[in-house]
A = this chain, B = another copy of it.
Amino acid sequence: MARLAARVADLVGSPVRDMLKVAEVPGMISFAGGLPAPESFSPLDFHEAPAEVLQYGPSEGDRAFREAVAAELGAIGLPDDPDRLLILSGSQQGIDLAAKLAVEPGTRLGVQDACYLAALQVFRLFGAEFVPLASLLAGEGPAPSLAYINPTFQNPTGACAALAERQALAEACQRHDCILFEDDPYRDLDFEPVERRPVASFIDKGSFIYQGSFSKTVAPGLRLGFLTASPDLLPKLVHLKQAADLHTNRLSQWLVLQRLQAPDRLARVDANRTLYRQRRDHFAAELSRLFADLADWEAPSGGFFFWLRLKGEVDASALLPAAIRRGVLFTPGVHFEPFRIGPSPTLRLNFGYVTPEIATRGLTILADLIREDRARQAA
């Protein structure tokens, strides 16, 4: 028997990734996963790709690409210095690097009551003990070493933190020497005017990591993200990046640089914003029509997700097998809830991936299923 590290004893796959395989069954309607709409992709223009992208490149990322990203970060109150940037092979990698930097068995780690599940997966792998973010804000108990937040169009809840909450988070992290780790992949998919200033922009002397992604606005298949961090952390993150994969794919960096510099860049972002806003509006209307007596929710003002809390004592996970048999996939909320004990009535629905027509079909099937389940429970 091979001798393995203790950290992999309870290792399991991501339930969302595992469901993506089911999602490939023809005709399956998928509200699971965080996939962008295929209609949101613009064709990429490879024709002028320079030969240098074929060679090894810097671990930090290609200079011209870092300059373009840094300029955008400067506009939202973050460091505008390309030397403060690290290009990532997708923002999932930033979570891996942050965990290597700050998490070992027993490390206290502040998270929201509902939190991106692939972040929980990584933090658990490195031995984190989760503490509610509310405890950090209230100053209760020993402070966590790191607080992972996704304040803008959160995955899974869709929530967007108000200004006072953002300032309070930054203040609490600084007061308790807690590293603020802000994950911000959805910020450019805003449907109404809403507070989006990075929490990290309110940090003046503390330690932070702020990361973004091109998976939702350009194409996830290119695996491209970036992080900026306080000067005490960045050099170590660069070394951890070296050790993880030497550097990020240079062709992706070049392709996305072209996109950032294209004259129609803002028009494309706007077109996607409109596409997703329309899907959000349709989904909200259909939920009101079909789920008013079945669940509670708040319409998100950006991002990809509706977060439903089913009324009554319902275990949303228990509904999934029947939903799959009827051709609909969703993600049970319990996978996102580190503090939940026992079954959860929550579920996450990605409204952005499917067309409105398919969304109606899927939501109808789901509402029928929940209604039948209720009737059976009552009988």
A53 vs B177: C-alpha distance in the bound complex, in angstroms? Answer: 42
A55 CB contact (under 8 Å) in B44, B219, B239: B219
Stretch from A129-137, A245-253, A356-364 at the B interface: A245-253
- Taken residue by residue from 237 to 281, chain A's Cβ proximity to chain B (1 for < 8 Å, 0 otherwise) reads as 011101111111111100100000000000000000000000000
Q: Number of A residues whose C-beta is below 8 Å from B?
A: 81
Do A90 and B245 touch (CB < 8 A)? yes
Which of A12-20, A155-163, A184-192, A332-340 interfaces with chain B?
A: A12-20
**A221 is contacted by which of B34, B54, B121 (Cβ under 8 Å)?**
B54
Residues of chain B within 8 A of A238, CB atoms compared: 13
Q: Is A77 an interface residue (CB 8 A)?
A: no
List B contacts of A255 (CB < 8 A): 251
> Inside 8 A of A17's CB, which chain B residues have their CB?
59, 242, 246
Is A175's CB within 8 Å of the partner chain B? no
A21 within 8 A of B: yes
Asked if B236 contacts A223 (CB within 8 A), the reply is no
Chain B residues closer than 8 Å to A240, beta-carbon distance: 8, 11, 125
Also in contact, A8 and B101, with CB within 8 A (given A1-B177, A238-B13, A249-B223) = yes
A92 to B249, CA, bound (A): 13
Q: Is the CB of B51 within 8 A of A41?
A: yes
A221 touches B56 (CB 8 A): yes
Whether A104 contacts B55 by the Cβ 8 Å rule is no
Question: Once bound together, how far apart are the Cα atoms of A126 and B233, in whole Å?
Answer: 19
| A239: contacting residue among B12, B21, B35, CB under 8 A | B12
Task: Give the copy number.
Answer: 2
| A47 in the interface (beta carbon within 8 A) | yes
Selected contact of A41 from candidates B2, B3, B43, B54, CB within 8 Å: B54
Q: A8-B236, A125-B100 are in contact. Are A56 and B220 (CB under 8 A)?
A: yes
A378 within 8 A of B: no
Is the Cβ of B13 less than 8 Å from the Cβ of A92?
Answer: no
Question: Among the listed B104, B118, B232, B251, which residue makes an inter-chain contact with A252, where contact means beta carbons less than 8 Å apart?
Answer: B251
Say yes or no: is A179 at the interface (Cβ < 8 Å to chain B).
Answer: yes
How far apart are the CA atoms of A247 and B13 in the complex, in Å? 13
Residues of A1-52 at the interface with B, using a CB-CB cut-off of 8 Å, are: 1-8, 11-14, 17, 20-21, 33-36, 38, 41, 43-44, 46-47, 49, 51-52
A191-222: contact bitstring with B at CB < 8 Å (1 yes, 0 no)? Answer: 00000000000000001000000010001111
Q: Does A102 contact B (CB under 8 A)?
A: yes
Q: Which residue of B lies closest to A42 (CB)?
A: B54
A2-B232, A3-B177, A7-B104 are contacts. A92–B245 as well, Cβ < 8 Å? Answer: yes
Interface string of A49-89 (1 = CB under 8 A from B): 10111111111000000000000000000000000000001
**Chain B hits for A248, CB < 8 A:** 223
In the bound assembly, the distance between CA atoms of A207 and B1 in angstroms comes to 8
- Contact in complex: A96, B245 (CB < 8 Å): yes
Q: List 7 A-B contacts (CB under 8 A).
A: A13-B239, A13-B242, A17-B246, A54-B222, A89-B89, A92-B245, A221-B250
**Extra contacts besides A8-B240, A41-B55 (8): CB < 8 Å:** A35-B56, A38-B51, A38-B55, A89-B249, A92-B246, A96-B243, A221-B251, A244-B244
A-B pairs, top 3 by smallest CB distance, nearest first, are A46-B46, A54-B219, A2-B207
